[in-house]
């Protein structure tokens, strides 16, 4: 199992929410890129909702264009 850090790469304003570069969460998973997996991407979205109050899925930012994944 790996500990991954998922970080926002660029600013986006959408659905009344804002994400900024540097916003990040940590996730323990078996997958190398949780953003490309439906179940794991939901976990990432939940972490961002809980920590920052932003819904990446609703914003259209739950994808590799806006998020960088790195192994810690």
pTM, 2 dp: 0.92
Average pLDDT for 17-28: 97
Contact 7, 72 (CB under 8 A): no
Q: What is the pLDDT of residues 37-70, one digit of tens each?
A: 999 999 999 999 999 999 999 999 999 999 999 9
Average pLDDT for 24-42: 92
CA-to-CA distance for 53 and 32, rounded, in angstroms?
A: 25
Q: What is the pLDDT of residue 1?
A: 85
Dump strand ranges (E) for 1-72: 2-8, 12-14, 17-19, 24-29, 67-71
């Amino acid at each position: 199992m790996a500990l991954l850090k998922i970080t926002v790469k660029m600013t986006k304003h959408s659905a009344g929410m804002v994400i900024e570069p540097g916003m990040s969460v940590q996730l323990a998973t078996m997958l190398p890129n949780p953003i490309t997996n439906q179940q794991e991407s939901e976990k990432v979205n939940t972490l961002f909702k809980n920590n920052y109050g932003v819904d990446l899925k609703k914003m259209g930012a739950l994808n590799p264009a806006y998020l960088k994944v790195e192994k810690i």
